Amino acid sequence: MVHGRPSAVCRAAGANYNRLLQAHSNSVDVVLVSPRNPLNIGAVARAMANFGFDHLTVVAPYAPHWREARSAVGAPELLQNATESASLPDAIAACTLAIGTGTLTHRKAEQRVISLPALAPVVHEELARGGRIALVFGPEKHGLTREDLSWCNILVEIPTDPRQPSMNLGQAAAVCLYELATRAFPAPPVLPAEAFPAAPSGSTRSANLALLASVIQDTMEAARYSPRSMQAANRHDLRLLLRRLAPSERDTRRILGLFRRILWRLRKDGKES
């Protein structure tokens, strides 16, 4: 280097890293659930632009503030091109790993919890398998709800001082995206293709899990497993269980066939009695 200017080798290395980062970041969706403050939405978009992430999905936004955020002067192009979704399940349907964010100060986790510094290897492994990531942030006032988190595979917690555990939405997004950009995307060692089984598409995997949950639920109702008042709680627990178990596509099909057979028998016996 001469007078602080990078050499051609450094510039080439930087260009290669940028291409690598872009390739990986295209497989990461940042999902905001019901954000209300246009300044916070803009801060998230700015953090995404800072670290090379392009895919933003906003779930059930507060319409006036969402219009204000998108029409703001100087809003990044990714904010103009953001996807709007009616529900969190729709927003993450194409993803193979949904990562919820939040603090455990006022909640009891029902899924696997990891600290932010431990997130990078998890994301790296999922992307190496051909997966797609959803990084999900809740609304400013209370964060992700218990129902929201039931759609997530894991919960990531940002280490903070116990005296001030919560973070501003824009700050939380920036910290998480920095962690991914700097630690999850370095070039992995070259491995033979057979080292990683082909991953199913996110939409297929999500659809099969949703179908399995539906058939199990129908079976529970046919067997009078619990009173009607408990059905919503059963659906919630079932979603958590299936995502925690993470069955393979083959196992999902076999379990689906098993419960379909049980459901058919229950309904047949019910008609004959």
* Residue 144: strand, helix, or coil: coil
What pLDDT sits at residue 203? Answer: 58
* Two structure tokens written together for 273: 């009695």
Stated as kind and residue range, the H or E segment containing 173 is: helix 169-179
- CA atoms of 155 and 176, how far apart (whole Å): 12
Low-confidence ranges of the chain (pLDDT < 70): 1-24, 72-76, 106, 186-204, 272-273
Q: 184: which 2 tokens?
A: 């999850």
Q: What is the largest CA-CA distance in the chain?
A: 90
Q: What does DSSP assign to residue 5? A: B
Helices 119-128, 169-179: inter-axial angle, 10-degree rounding: 60
Task: Give me the pLDDT at residue 105, please.
Answer: 72
Backbone angles phi, psi at 256, to 5 degrees: -60, -45
111 in Cβ contact with 149 (< 8 Å):
yes
What pLDDT is stored for residue 72 in this prediction? Answer: 65
What pLDDT was estimated at residue 75?
60
pLDDT score recorded for residue 24: 65
CB distance 91 to 134 below 8 Å = yes
Mention every residue, 6+ apart, whose C-beta is less than 8 A from residue 8: none
Six-digit token pair at 5? 């200017």
Collapsed DSSP state (helix, strand, coil) of residue 67: helix
Residue pLDDT, tens place only, 153-194: 999 998 888 788 778 899 999 999 999 988 887 544 444 444
